[in-house]
Amino acid sequence: MTELYVPIRSEAVQKPQFVFTRGYKAFIDLIKEAEQVFADNEIEDTTEHIHILRGLYYGTVWSVDYEDRKSTIRNDMFNLYSGSLEPRDPRKMLGTTLFNELRQCAEVHESPTDRFDFGHCIIGLNCRNSFLSRSAAVPGHGGGTGFEVCTWLGDLGGGASMLAMKRATGSPTHRAIKMFPKSGHSYGSWVNLEGDAAAYLVASDVGGADGAKSLDLDPDKRFSTVLAEYLLNSSGSNFKAERAKQVLCALGCAFDANGTITNETDVQSNVANKLYEFADLYMMQWYYNENKLDVDRALNASKYFLPASVEVTSIFFDMLKACTKLPGLPLTPVGIDPDPLPPSKPLLKYTTMKKAEQNIRNYIDELKERIDKLSR
């Protein structure tokens, strides 16, 4: 079986190896240092700076992701998702010390309640620079764009899939809120979601569904400047404090004059459907990597894709709505814990496969019986 191409997130709750703990200002100073190196090497385009920096985390043999997964196929697919070629190799121009310090910034901590996944942010920004990545659905990925797969769809779709697999393998009441760990670095953990939000909102002067998609970069601004505007509020825009509402807008929500979402049911349905379809793809890769992929496991897990997707989506939206009223909170659900929904019908393709499998077994049994009769 050919390897499937989804960004598998580890379930293990471990302190990641690549964490920068000296705060946002020191982190931005590192970005400035890299920008100066690029400029000294006659690389002036800010979007190219973003592209090169993305390669430190995804899509190259010198990336953090490759060090963990050792998969050139994943590298190819992250380049496909982002609608770009493999970034140029910056190791020689950056030098060992700066190169390693930048890779350490896969996750950046300002304080215990203010941190974000820069790897998610930078690949999301790289995706936004491509019309195809931000606009076109990737075939077989639940209707999600490359941009979405690299941000919230990869995180929450993977979480919905893992929830379904847990319920199908002996824990039918496993709660969806566990896919949003307050500590840890997988699925809907708040550090991941903060990185996803930053991917939408850094260099997004307009905001909303349109403004958060294209990469809005002033030609005279460097990447470090727009990072400071978002993380440190250096421009006075306070955009980071409004990130929960802006993410809702980017997902397609419309607000009335009182701040109430007017089309929440439709937008939630659209998001849940993407998670539902993505969960199947994620499940196949997960079981395949574990050498456990068979029809029975897939059929049983598929019964839980729909309820898991609906529950994960409802938590995501309830969390974002709560954070619009309390902008100082990290993007983590507080006091949100929906009861598990009942399983639905399994996916038709797995039901059909199961029937075909049984028909083949019946045919083999029939052949054996005929052979036994002939040999008597």
- Residues 157-214 pLDDT 10s: 999 999 999 999 989 999 999 999 988 788 999 999 999 999 998 988 654 444 455 6
Who wins on pLDDT, 357 or 63?
63
Q: Give the HSE-up count for residue 18: Cα atoms under 13 Å, Cβ half-sphere.
A: 21
pLDDT at 16: 52
Segment among 32-41, 224-233, 295-304, 320-329 with least mean pLDDT: 320-329
pLDDT at 12: 47
> Which residues, in sequence order, are bridge partners of residue 255?
261
Question: How far is the C-alpha of 114 from the C-alpha of 231, rounded, in Å?
Answer: 10
What are the E-state strand segments in 33-164?
A: 107-111, 114-117
pLDDT surpassing 60 at residue 38: yes
Segment among 142-151, 218-227, 261-270 with least mean pLDDT: 218-227
Segment among 95-109, 243-257, 317-331, 349-363 with least mean pLDDT: 349-363
Type of residue numbered 83: G
Question: How far is the C-alpha of 304 from the C-alpha of 293, rounded, in Å?
Answer: 17
pLDDT at 13: 42
Who wins on pLDDT, 176 or 7?
176
Other beta carbons within 10 angstroms of residue 119's beta carbon come to 26
| Mean pLDDT over the full length of the chain | 88
pLDDT, average across residues 52-63: 98
Q: Give the HSE-up count for residue 138: Cα atoms under 13 Å, Cβ half-sphere.
A: 28
pLDDT surpassing 50 at residue 286: yes
pTM of the model: 0.89
Report which secondary-structure segment, H or E, holds 20. strand 19-20
- Residues 238-282 pLDDT 10s: 778 888 998 998 899 999 999 899 999 999 999 999 999 999 989
pLDDT at 49: 96
Question: How far is the C-alpha of 94 from the C-alpha of 53, rounded, in Å?
Answer: 11
Least Cα distance to 71 among 139, 6, 11, 116 occurs for: 6
Segment among 66-70, 206-210, 312-316 with least mean pLDDT: 206-210
Under 8 Å between Cβ of 320 and 244? yes
Where do the structural domains in the chain lie, given as residue ranges? 19-345, 349-376
Who wins on pLDDT, 374 or 199?
199
pLDDT, average across residues 324-345: 91
